Amino acid sequence: MPKVKITQKGITHMGKELSVGSEVDVKSIPASFTNKCVLIGDDRELEVATPQVESEEKDDDRESAIELYVEKFGDKPHGRMKTETIMAAVMEGE
């Protein structure tokens, strides 16, 4: 549940006016709290939308693809080129 700290006067919550500096647990931050409070805690756990997978195999594949690209074209590929794109360029001979 989010926890907010009141930073300005004029906010009521559950029928009571809250004093500046009060900390309140709320289910969601109401629109009336906008610019009158700061979020100080949220104990909900968030999931990573796209977890980053670290793999040494991918690094090895990329390094070997770059070596093949350099052998074929004489220059390193652009840093943002995907490993698959580098391999496709080497195979096609562009």
pLDDT at 55 over 60: no
The pLDDT, as a whole number, for residue 30 is 77
- 8-12, 38-42, 57-61: which has the minimum mean pLDDT? 57-61
Which of 74 and 13 is assigned the larger pLDDT?
A: 74
- Per DSSP, the three-state class of 23 is strand
pTM above 0.85, yes or no: no
Distance between CA atoms of residues 29 and 36, nearest Å: 11
pLDDT grade, residue 37 (50/70/90)?
confident
- Which whole number is the average pLDDT over 6-20? 85
* H helix and E strand count, the chain: 2, 5
